[in-house]
Amino acid sequence: MSIWKDTGDRSPDSLSGGQQQRIAIARAIVNEPKVLLLDEPLGALDLKLRQDMQYELIRLKNELGITFVYVTHDQEEALTMSDTIVVMNQGYIQQIGTPEDIYNEPQNAFVADFIGDSNIIAATMLEDKVVRMLGAVWKCVDVGFGHNRPVDAVIRPEDIDLVKPGEGVIDGIVINLIFKGVHYEMEVLANNYELLVHSTDMFPVGTEVGIKVDPFDIQIMKKPESEDEEAPAVEE
C-alpha cells in the first residue's frame, strides 16, 4: 500500500507525524476488521497534513468497506469525514443525522452552536411561521411552537444578507471586520445584538446596513426551561 512507501527501512523516530499515523492505520486494518475505532487520530498533525490524512482515510474507508467510528472534537473534521454524525453533550446524544441535517437542521441550541458558527437569538413565536426577534417581526417556515411562546432562533452567519439601510427587516452598523480568505467575517450591531455575518462582499467598519434573512434560513427551536433540558437523550 502507498502508506508504506519509503518507510520500511527507517526507524520510527525518523518518521514524520503523518508517516507514523499512516503506519498505525495500516497496522490496524491489516487484519481486515469490520469496525475500526479512531479516537482523535489526526489531532497532533498540522492543518495541511491533517487535511491530506482526511482524504486518505476517506479513500481507505471507501475502498476497504470498513465502518469507521471516528471520535473528534473538530466540528469541521466531523462534517468532512462522516456519513452519519452523533453529537453528544454531557454523555447524552443530542442529535443523529447526516452532516447536512446536523448543520442545516440543528435540533437544539447546543448542536447549532457546536457545529459551525451560529447566531442564537432569544425570540418569541407569535404564531405559525411568524417570529419576533431583535425588536422586529420576521417570517419563518416553522410551525407547531404555539402562540406567543419563547423560543430560540438560529441563523447561520452565511445566511444573513446585508443590504442598503431601510431595505432589510432591521438596520445595523458594522463594528468589526476580518478577512478570512474565502469570505469576510463581520460583526453587525443591531438593536443591541452583535450578529455574526459571513459574506463575500466587504462592508467597512462603520457602514450602516440593512439586514435580511430568507424565511427558510431562520431555524426555530424550543427554548430549554431549565438546565436539565439542555442535554436530553434522543428518543430511540
DSSP-derived pairing of the beta strands 35-39 and 67-71:
parallel
What pLDDT is stored for residue 228 in this prediction? Answer: 47
What is the CATH architecture assignment of 117-224?
Answer: Beta Barrel (2.40)
Asked if residue 110 has pLDDT above 70, the reply is yes
Question: Which helix H or strand E contains 208, and what residues bound it?
Answer: strand 208-213
Residue-wise pLDDT for 47-106, tens only, equals 788 888 888 888 888 888 889 999 988 888 888 889 999 999 988 999 999 999 999 888
What is the mean predicted confidence (pLDDT) over 203-207? 97
CATH (one of 3.40.50.720, 1.20.120.1690, 2.60.120.10, 3.40.50.300) for 2-83: 3.40.50.300
Residue-wise pLDDT for 176-192, tens only, equals 999 999 999 999 999 99
Asked if residue 20 has pLDDT above 90, the reply is no
Three-class SS of 107-166: CCHHHHHHCCCCEEEEEEEEECCEEEECCEEEECCCCCCCCCEEEEEEECHHHEEEECCC
Are the CB atoms for 117 and 154 separated by under 8 Å? no
- All structural domains of the chain with their residue ranges: 2-83, 117-224
Sorted by sequence, the CB contacts under 8 Å of residue 113 that are 6+ apart come out as: 120
DSSP-derived pairing of the beta strands 184-190 and 193-199:
antiparallel
What pLDDT is stored for residue 192 in this prediction? Answer: 94
What pLDDT is stored for residue 73 in this prediction? Answer: 86
Sorted by sequence, the CB contacts under 8 Å of residue 102 that are 6+ apart come out as: 79, 85, 87, 95, 111, 115
Q: Which residues of 113-145 are buried (b: 16+ CB within 10 A; e: fewer)?
A: ebbbebbbbebbbbeeeebebbeeebebebeeb
Whether 2-83 and 117-224 share one fold: the answer is no
Asked if residue 232 has pLDDT above 60, the reply is no
Residue-wise pLDDT for 135-171, tens only, equals 999 999 999 999 999 999 999 999 999 999 999 999 9
Instruction: Quickly state the pLDDT bin for 9 (edges 50, 70, 90).
Output: low
Name the 3-class secondary structure at 94.
strand
Model confidence, pTM: 0.76
DSSP 170-201: EEEEEEEEEE-SSSEEEEEEETTEEEEEEESS
Of 109, 150, 235, 135, give the one whose Cα is nearest residue 190: 135
What is the mean predicted confidence (pLDDT) over 25-41? 85
